[in-house]
Amino acid sequence: MTETPTDDGERAANDDHGAPGDRPDAAAPTDRPSVLVPLEVLKGASLPNGTPELLANAHVVLLGYHVIPEQTAAEQAREQFGETGMAKLDEFADALAAAGADVETRLVFTHDEATTIDRLIYEHDCLAVLVPNGVAQVESVLFPLRGTVGVERNSRLVAGLFADTDVDVTLYHALDADESPEDGASFAADVAAALAERGIAEDRIDTVVEDATVPVDAIADRAASYDVVVMGETDPSVTTFVFGMPSAQVAERFLGPVLVVQRARPEE
């Protein structure tokens, strides 16, 4: 294990896990989507049921974090809790790797979980963040076509995770006020074509286009019939979206895993 200073004064423990038999420091395959999975490891958070199977084709950045009081130094917390935290992360990483995922772990003691999650998303160039709820099995995915994330990033995640599976994908588009049904259907068809080009069988892609007074409510209601929801980021603040806006509303009502696709990082 190595310790790397971070930009907000923390120190983060890094430990890489590859698929069984791989070198621990082997690079992740470039065609695997990178997904951040944040867990409060010292507050009893565990890897939800079904997560290893859901992310079997992903490069997983498993973030174990613990929020410490402002007056507590990260070094002090690490000395006291670091071994326990890493033992839990190792257990979770082994389960993910056994399912086929490439995994790297980060253990962070932080005064600000929002800043930490934002930073880790960009440090590891994560395509998506998982709102980690359990799922018995993954047979169907609801893919609402909303947010400001481009079709390329959304389709890359969905195809990267599910192209080699029998999972069915439903594209759901709630019409905007100035959008005609024909425009909505054309947009959904473009996304379906992008998924097909990336390996999702056409007979496993369905599209639903409809008017919806409150799109988030419509998504949450429809999600009850699916195993997983994939949503594009819609708010300028990544963590506000993940933990306090549409995806949280959907996740609370849906009670299944929600993958939130992130915007591309702006050029610095």
Name which of 160, 115, 116, 118 is nearest 141 in CA terms.
Answer: 160
Residue 106 contacts residue 152 (beta carbons within 8 Å): no
In the block, tokens 């100035």 appear at 178
**In angstroms, rounded to a whole number, what is the distance separating the alpha carbons of residues 102 and 71?**
36
Per this entry, what is the length of the chain?
A: 268
Residue 33 contacts residue 8 (beta carbons within 8 Å): no
Strands (DSSP E) contained in 68-190 are: 102-110, 128-131, 140-144, 168-174
Q: Could you tell me where in the chain the CATH 3.40.50.620 domains are found?
A: 140-261
Widest distance between CA atoms in the chain: 60
User: Which amino acid appears at position 132 of this protein?
Assistant: P
Looking at residue 18, its pLDDT comes to 38
**In angstroms, rounded to a whole number, what is the distance separating the alpha carbons of residues 158 and 143?**
8
Residue 191 contacts residue 154 (beta carbons within 8 Å): yes
Residue 138 contacts residue 227 (beta carbons within 8 Å): yes
Looking at residue 238, its pLDDT comes to 44
Q: pLDDT below 70 — which residues of the chain?
A: 1-30, 146-149, 234-252, 265-268
Mean predicted lDDT score pLDDT of the chain: 81
CATH topology of domain 140-261: Rossmann fold (3.40.50)
Domain 2-126, CATH: 3.40.50
Where helices occur in the chain by DSSP H, the ranges are 51-54, 74-99, 113-123, 151-162, 181-197, 215-223, 238-244, 246-254
**In angstroms, rounded to a whole number, what is the distance separating the alpha carbons of residues 184 and 173?**
7
